[in-house]
């Protein structure tokens, strides 16, 4: 029997695990009480690590499609076919005819993170997409324009704050997102236990709202209006206190002028909140000794995601809560991947080009994935004819997944680096399966930089990988090296193959803010030092770091970047103009449950058994008005299609709003996920409209999709 200390890689929370094994079997997974960040917290999903490892549906060998069946092949042939397929498409149609999609598992893999950049560059295509643009893109854009780097995302100092204002986030279930906070529910309870206050703004009375002092139901998509009203109260009542930030912040006067146009009375009807409630919210936030405003998917995945995300930071800024203990802070990770995000000419890496068909803006070399289907289907120079994916399942996770499903069927070539035949990869011609997460070493390159405490932890592999298995980085490096031209690139590929992720991680740790430098045994962090501290190293509470940590060219905070200010006119026209949305529309929002955060977790029996979780939540008043009953199957019709789903009545829902979880819709022909196929559910993205995006950032606007809900048989 052996015990392995490891970081859970299934979500952003980075919980420390103790994994017990006997031979090649996992016998127990429990929380590591000595992990300096998670302190023993664990959620029910952690067991999925062993279930994924042993999953009989997990593909363990490369496979090529032959007609309508799959044939096992060797790695040499597989890499040859991948390279030939990519080159064939690019020779015939140009480099941009290959599109690449990088899914969520990438950020949870050290090897993939270290090698995916070169891999994507070797594809030499502008058609790069990722899960970012169906999630947190507005947070990156706001961080880039305000603080100079897409990863300078303000993180609530949850363990020291006296007042936490949460918009469109459910950390009690997610354990924090863009706020790695394992055991978030306990941390929220601790705020109240020390006399603080927690306020939740959400169309649903979420699990987090149930822990809060106050819950305000808001109409989906109107958060930016609420935030402007809060700022109006703060400026009008002279409550603004930017404090030390004033010395290195520009744009506060612009912000003030803008906000003063939005008194609470002006936005009350649109938001569904009373003017009095907004005034109290603003005053309480301004008066608290230490306060932080935080927003997540409900704020970013909507038509005004960019504006709302910016305004949350603006609210923190105006009240002096940025870079302040108990406010929002910026972690100092041991591996700091935040290099300058402004080009030499001072321009952020945003909108340097646009998508071919719809003109959506590029961000950091990527285009919004809401544009992917049309890029495949629309003829003309640059049309996408080939596809490369790493992880992810965009047929279920991106808007109008049904259209993408159909578009993928027409590709000339598709290679997937993935170990599941899911709703997306079923269209592939070639599958290159990576090793299981328990067979890989791990260090979290992203989430240490988004965590509520500075820590560092290295996880050695639990199991050796099989001789004929390949890690993601090995697959990527093999293709990258073959696609690269010039001896230098090939030599680099060969050297990387020799060193693997370990030496790159060691180098980055040594050169980082706590690093040992390049002396072999110098004091400070190195890979060796982390291996000697298997529970992880505690680097302390978040520390003030501005203005030194700012990455804007002028090393100043930009409180009112022009692109956000200009977008206010669109907000006003949409919500406050003559064409404001009808107040009787049912608006669809998503939701996350404790046992599911991504579609591939639905192939884990322990996580899907029991009560059906793929239900449409609706307020009883809305059901009565439509003659609908709890448990009945109903039809939900959105912008691009209709699905049938069981109805679940809940007075936690705001009247006029319905909610459906994401990542379901399994059991399609050609997939090989037996457990998921027995728990199919329906895909929310078979009704969401890919034309609904945040026009500012290009992020998909899932939240607030207008839908019609009818009884089966009704017209
Ligand atoms: S909260 Fe996330 S990181 Fe923690 S055990 Fe659950 S899935 Fe793993």
Phi, psi of 591, deg, nearest 5: -160, 155
What mean pLDDT is reported for the chain? 95
Query: Distance between CA atoms of 671 and 425, rounded to whole angstroms?
Result: 8
**Whether the Cβ atoms of residue 427 and residue 409 lie closer than 8 Å to each other:** yes
The answer to whether the CB of 143 is under 6 A from ligand 1 is no
pLDDT confidence of residue 344? 58
**Whether the Cβ atoms of residue 414 and residue 428 lie closer than 8 Å to each other:** yes
pLDDT confidence of residue 504? 94
As averages over each run of 10 residues, the pLDDT of the chain (715 residues) reads 96 97 96 98 93 96 96 98 98 98 96 96 97 97 96 97 98 96 98 98 98 98 98 98 98 98 98 98 98 97 98 98 98 86 71 97 97 98 97 97 98 98 98 97 97 98 94 97 86 84 95 89 91 98 96 95 98 85 79 83 91 95 96 95 97 98 96 96 97 98 95 74
Q: Can you tell me which atom of ligand 1 is nearest the CA of 174?
A: 1
Task: Go through the domains of the chain in sequence order and give each one's CATH number.
Answer: 157-330+559-566 (3.40.228.10), 582-711 (2.40.40.20)
The answer to whether the CB of 299 is under 6 A from ligand 1 is no
pLDDT confidence of residue 498? 85
pLDDT tens for 286-318 read: 999 999 999 999 999 999 999 999 999 999 999
pLDDT confidence of residue 18? 98
Helix (H, G, I), strand (E, B) or coil at 430: strand
Phi, psi of 672, deg, nearest 5: -135, 65
Beta bridge partners of 434: 470
231, 307, 338, 443 from 152: Cα distances, Å: 23, 17, 8, 20
Tell me which of 43, 108, 455 to substitute to probe ligand 1's pocket, judged by most ligand atoms within 8 Å of the beta carbon: 43
Between vectors from CA 196 to CA 192 and to CA 201, what angle results, nearest 5°? 85
CA nearest to 541, candidates 671, 455, 453, 458? 453
pLDDT confidence of residue 584? 60
Query: Distance between CA atoms of 228 and 231, rounded to whole angstroms?
Result: 5
The answer to whether the CB of 175 is under 6 A from ligand 1 is yes
The answer to whether the CB of 504 is under 6 A from ligand 1 is no
Query: Distance between CA atoms of 338 and 63, rounded to whole angstroms?
Result: 37
Number of residues written out for the chain: 715
For ligand 1, the distance from its centroid to the CA atom of residue 561, given in whole angstroms, is: 36
DSSP state of 700: B
Q: Can you tell me which atom of ligand 1 is nearest the CA of 597?
A: 7
Q: Can you tell me which atom of ligand 1 is nearest the CA of 13?
A: 3
Q: Whose CA is nearest to atom 2 of ligand 1?
A: 11
DSSP state of 684: G
Query: Distance between CA atoms of 552 and 70, rounded to whole angstroms?
Result: 51
**What are the start-end ranges of the H helices in 453-548?**
472-483, 487-511, 527-531
pLDDT confidence of residue 42? 97
The answer to whether the CB of 510 is under 6 A from ligand 1 is no
Tell me which of 45, 438, 598 to substitute to probe ligand 1's pocket, judged by most ligand atoms within 8 Å of the beta carbon: 45
Query: Distance between CA atoms of 383 and 675, rounded to whole angstroms?
Result: 36
pLDDT tens for 546-565 read: 999 999 999 999 999 999 99
For ligand 1, the distance from its centroid to the CA atom of residue 260, given in whole angstroms, is: 42
The answer to whether the CB of 46 is under 6 A from ligand 1 is yes
Q: Whose CA is nearest to atom 6 of ligand 1?
A: 43
Q: Tokens for 17?
A: 């695990």
pLDDT tens for 494-526 read: 888 888 999 999 999 999 999 999 887 778 999
57, 152, 178, 539 from 341: Cα distances, Å: 41, 10, 19, 26
Q: Can you tell me which atom of ligand 1 is nearest the CA of 14?
A: 3
pLDDT confidence of residue 346? 65
**Whether the Cβ atoms of residue 442 and residue 6 lie closer than 8 Å to each other:** yes
Q: Give burial (CB, 10 Å; 0-12/13-18/19+) of 434.
A: buried
**Whether the Cβ atoms of residue 619 and residue 649 lie closer than 8 Å to each other:** yes
The answer to whether the CB of 18 is under 6 A from ligand 1 is no
**Whether the Cβ atoms of residue 128 and residue 365 lie closer than 8 Å to each other:** yes
pLDDT confidence of residue 486? 81
Query: Distance between CA atoms of 609 and 612, rounded to whole angstroms?
Result: 8
CA nearest to 201, candidates 228, 229, 188, 220? 220
């Amino acid at each position: 029997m052996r015990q392995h200390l490891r970081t859970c890689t299934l979500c952003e929370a980075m919980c420390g695990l103790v994994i017990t094994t006997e031979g090649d079997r996992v016998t127990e997974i429990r929380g590591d009480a000595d992990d300096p960040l998670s302190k023993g917290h664990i959620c029910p999903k952690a067991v999925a690590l062993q279930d994924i490892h042993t999953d009989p549906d997990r593909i363990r060998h490369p496979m090529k499609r032959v007609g309508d069946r799959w044939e096992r092949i060797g790695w040499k042939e597989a890499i040859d076919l991948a390279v030939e397929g990519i080159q064939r498409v690019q020779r015939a149609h140009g480099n941009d005819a290959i599109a690449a999609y990088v899914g969520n598992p990438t950020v949870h893999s050290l090897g993939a993170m270290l090698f995916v950049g070169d891999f994507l560059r070797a594809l030499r295509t502008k058609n790069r997409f990722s899960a970012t643009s169906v999630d947190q893109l507005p947070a990156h854009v706001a961080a880039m324009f305000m603080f100079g780097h897409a990863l300078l995302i303000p993180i609530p100092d949850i363990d020291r704050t006296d007042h936490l204002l949460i918009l469109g986030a459910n950390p009690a279930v997610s354990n924090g997102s863009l706020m790695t906070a394992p055991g978030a529910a306990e941390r929220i309870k601790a705020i109240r236990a020390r006399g603080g206050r927690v306020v939740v703004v959400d169309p649903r009375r979420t699990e987090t709202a149930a822990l809060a002092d106050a819950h305000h139901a808001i109409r989906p998509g109107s958060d930016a209006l609420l935030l402007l009203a809060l700022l109006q109260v703060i400026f009008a009542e002279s409550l603004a206190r930017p404090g030390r930030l004033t010395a290195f912040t520009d744009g506060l006067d612009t912000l003030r002028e803008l906000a003063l146009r939005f008194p609470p009375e002006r936005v009350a009807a649109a938001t569904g909140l009373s003017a009095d409630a907004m005034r109290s919210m603003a005053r309480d936030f301004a008066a608290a000794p230490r306060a932080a405003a935080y927003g997540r998917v409900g704020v970013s995945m909507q038509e005004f995601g960019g504006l709302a995300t910016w305004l949350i930071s603006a609210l923190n800024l105006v009240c002096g809560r940025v870079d302040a203990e108990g406010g929002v802070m910026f972690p100092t990770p041991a591996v700091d991947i935040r290099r300058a995000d402004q080009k030499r000419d001072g321009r952020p890496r945003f909108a340097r080009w646009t998508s071919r068909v719809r003109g959506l803006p590029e961000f950091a070399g990527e285009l919004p994935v809401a544009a992917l289907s049309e890029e495949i289907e629309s003829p003309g120079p640059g049309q996408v004819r080939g596809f490369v994916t790493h992880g992810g399942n965009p047929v279920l996770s991106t808007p109008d997944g049904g259209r993408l499903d159909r578009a993928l069927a027409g590709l000339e070539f598709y290679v997937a680096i993935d170990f599941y035949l899911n709703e997306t990869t079923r269209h592939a011609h070639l599958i290159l399966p990576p090793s299981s997460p328990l067979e890989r070493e791990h260090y979290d390159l992203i989430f240490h930089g988004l965590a509520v405490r500075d820590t560092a932890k290295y996880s050695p592999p639990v199991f050796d990988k099989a001789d004929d298995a390949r890690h993601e980085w090995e697959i990527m490096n093999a293709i990258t090296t073959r696609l690269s031209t010039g001896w230098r690139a090939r030599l680099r590929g060969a050297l990387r193959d020799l060193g693997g992720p370990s030496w790159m991680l060691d180098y980055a740790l040594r050169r980082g803010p706590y690093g040992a430098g390049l002396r072999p045994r110098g004091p400070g962090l190195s890979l060796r030092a982390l291996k000697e501290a298997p529970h992880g190293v505690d680097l302390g509470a978040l520390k003030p770091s501005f203005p030194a940590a700012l990455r804007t060219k002028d090393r100043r905070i930009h409180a009112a970047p022009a692109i956000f200010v200009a977008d206010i006119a669109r907000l006003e026209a949409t919500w406050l103009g003559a064409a404001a949305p009808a107040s009787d529309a049912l608006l669809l929002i998503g939701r996350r449950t404790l046992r599911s955060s991504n579609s591939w977790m639905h192939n884990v029996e322990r996580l899907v058994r029991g009560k059906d979780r793929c239900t449409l939540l609706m307020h009883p008043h809305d059901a009565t008005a439509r003659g609908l009953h709890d448990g009945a199957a109903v039809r939900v019709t959105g912008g691009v299609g209709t699905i049938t789903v069981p109805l679940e009545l809940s007075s936690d829902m705001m009247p006029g709003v319905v909610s459906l979880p994401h990542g379901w819709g399994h059991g399609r022909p050609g997939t090989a996920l037996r457990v998921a196929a027995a728990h199919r559910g329906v895909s929310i993205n078979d009704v969401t409209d890919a034309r609904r995006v945040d026009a500012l950032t290009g992020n998909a606007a899932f939240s607030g999709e207008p839908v019609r809900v009818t009884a089966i048989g009704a017209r």
